[in-house]
């Protein structure tokens, strides 16, 4: 019995020693990993401003962004990384990073970009000059889903060349990495290249908008291989090659020539002038004849001519003159030569 108890005691000591040894080894491993863990740094460019507070980075995370005094007449819009993505506090570092400020004129018309991350993370708004290109933030992260693109309220992909003219809300678009994927390729019909996108098989489309117009035409969506306009609500089950559809920005009435910009057009109407015989100037009609007082004689002194080239009018012998041909145009028309009339109208065109 005593031998058995000694044997069990030795066994317990061995188990304890093993557990202690494992704990010590793991502690050493974690200590080594901690000591050898890469420490990333953030290089800060001033862009002509003056730094008043340094950036704060702890445990490979940006805790506080720098504070900076902009150059005269400028305001700070945001801080961006090498890819021109807006950085923010609490952003985790996966590599060394260089950031620089974006300054814009202090006196300017502005619009606000708001972002919906789809996670608990709140991404700060960015105020930019109206009519300038969008500034997108560094993508957010999610434990289960993968970030795909930023999209607008209509579901179109927002690329960093999108020009913004109004307050805009931009949404993060996520997909589940475990699902089967399909690839959507784009042909803009211009020299602009839009990278293919990858979405989950069976999900609805996420579509970009070309930033460059084709021959001043208007973008009206994407056509599939059969020439059909793609419906963004359609569930995609296979790879697709899409081609941009371009149309004239305005449709003008038939026979109308578009003016610059295409919002209006000019329509020209011509017709033959009306013809009638009238008395020439300085004469008037009297019993079917045109008479004029020019060169007339006093009827009391002599008789009017017997050959019909004079007519007695009151106390005078009035000279008879030939009628002349007069060409006239209807109201709204103007003479176009001797025998033609022309009217030019400005008409509104229908926006496509």
- Express each pLDDT in 36-83 by its tens digit: 557 899 999 999 999 999 999 999 999 999 999 999 999 999 999 999
**pLDDT for the residue numbered 4:** 52
CA–CA separation, 152 and 329 (whole Å)? 56
Write down the pLDDT at residue 337: 83
Strand order through the sheet with 146-151: 126-129, 110-116, 168-175, 146-151, 156-157, 207-208
Give the pLDDT confidence score for residue 35 in this predicted structure: 53
Q: What is the pLDDT of residue 66?
A: 96
List the single range of 181-195, 269-283, 295-309 with lowest mean pLDDT. Answer: 295-309
- What integer best gives the mean pLDDT of the chain? 86
Percent of residues, the chain, with pLDDT higher than 70: 85
More confident residue, 186 or 16: 186
Residue that has been written with the tokens 């992260």 in this structure: 141
pLDDT score, position 168: 96
pLDDT score for 295: 64
**Is residue 104 scored above 70 in pLDDT?**
yes
Q: What is the pLDDT of residue 203?
A: 83
Instruction: For residue 227, give the nearest of 187, 168, 169, 178 by alpha carbon.
Output: 187
Q: Which of 313, 221, 326, 220 is nearest to 273 (CA)?
A: 326
Q: Which of 54-68, 102-116, 217-231 shows the lowest per-residue confidence on average (mean pLDDT)?
A: 217-231
pTM of the model: 0.58
Rounded CA gap, 66 and 95, in Å? 19
DSSP tag of 33? H
Predicted pLDDT of residue 9: 60
Q: Write down the domain spans for the chain.
A: 38-106, 257-351
DSSP assignment of 56-72 equals EEETTEEEE--EEEPPT
Distances (CA, A) of 323 to 272, 285, 308, 320, 329: 21, 9, 15, 10, 19
**DSSP labels, 142-183:** -SS-EEEEEE-TTSEE--TT-EE-S-EEEEEEEE-TTS-EEE
The whole-angstrom separation of Cα 251 and Cα 263 is 9
Cβ–Cβ under 8 Å, residues 209 and 191: no
Contacts of 307 (CB under 8 A, 6+ apart): none
CB 73 within 8 A of CB 48: no
Q: What whole-number percentage of the chain has pLDDT above 90?
A: 45
Q: Which residues pair with 257 in a beta bridge?
A: 266
Q: Using CA atoms, how far apart are residues 285 and 280, in angstroms rounded to an integer? A: 10
Write down the pLDDT at residue 71: 96
Angle (CA) 39-40-43 rounded to 5° is 140
Partner residues linked to 26 by β-bridges: none
The answer, yes or no, to whether residue 5 has pLDDT greater than 60, is no
pLDDT at 176: 76
The predicted-structure confidence for 317-345, as pLDDT tens digits, reads as follows 888 888 998 888 998 899 888 789 999 99
């Amino acid at each position: 019995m005593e031998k058995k108890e000694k044997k069990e005691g030795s066994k317990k000591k061995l188990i304890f020693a093993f557990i202690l040894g494992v704990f010590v080894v793991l502690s050493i491993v974690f200590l080594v990993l901690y000591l050898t863990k890469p420490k990333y740094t953030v290089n800060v460019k001033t862009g002509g401003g003056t730094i008043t507070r340094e950036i704060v980075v702890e445990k490979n995370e940006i805790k506080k962004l720098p504070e900076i005094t902009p150059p005269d007449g400028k305001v700070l819009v945001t801080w961006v990384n090498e890819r021109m993505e807006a950085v923010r506090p609490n952003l985790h570092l996966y590599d060394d990073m260089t950031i620089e400020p974006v300054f814009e004129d202090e006196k300017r018309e502005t619009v606000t970009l708001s972002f919906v991350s789809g996670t608990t993370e709140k991404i700060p708004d960015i105020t930019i000059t109206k009519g300038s290109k969008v500034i997108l933030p560094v993508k957010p992260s999610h434990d289960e889903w993968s970030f795909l693109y930023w999209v607008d309220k209509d579901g179109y992909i927002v690329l960093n060349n999108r020009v913004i003219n109004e307050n805009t809300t931009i949404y993060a678009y996520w997909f589940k990495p475990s699902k089967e994927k399909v690839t959507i390729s784009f042909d803009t019909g211009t020299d602009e290249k839009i990278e293919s996108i990858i979405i989950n098989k069976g999900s609805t489309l996420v579509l970009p908008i070309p930033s460059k117009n084709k021959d001043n035409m208007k973008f009206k969506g994407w056509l599939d291989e059969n020439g059909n306009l793609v419906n963004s609500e359609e569930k995609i089950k296979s790879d697709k090659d899409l081609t941009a559809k371009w149309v004239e920005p305005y449709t003008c009435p038939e026979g109308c020539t578009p003016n610059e910009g295409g919002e209006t057009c000019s329509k020209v109407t011509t017709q033959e002038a009306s013809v009638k015989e009238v008395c020439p100037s300085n004469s008037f009609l009297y019993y079917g004849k045109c008479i004029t007082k020019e060169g007339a004689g006093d009827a009391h002194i002599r008789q009017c001519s017997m050959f019909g080239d004079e007519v007695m009018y009151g106390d005078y012998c009035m000279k008879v003159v030939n009628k002349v041909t007069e060409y006239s145009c209807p109201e709204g028309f103007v003479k176009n030569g001797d025998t033609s009339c022309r009217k030019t109208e400005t008409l509104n065109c229908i926006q496509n």
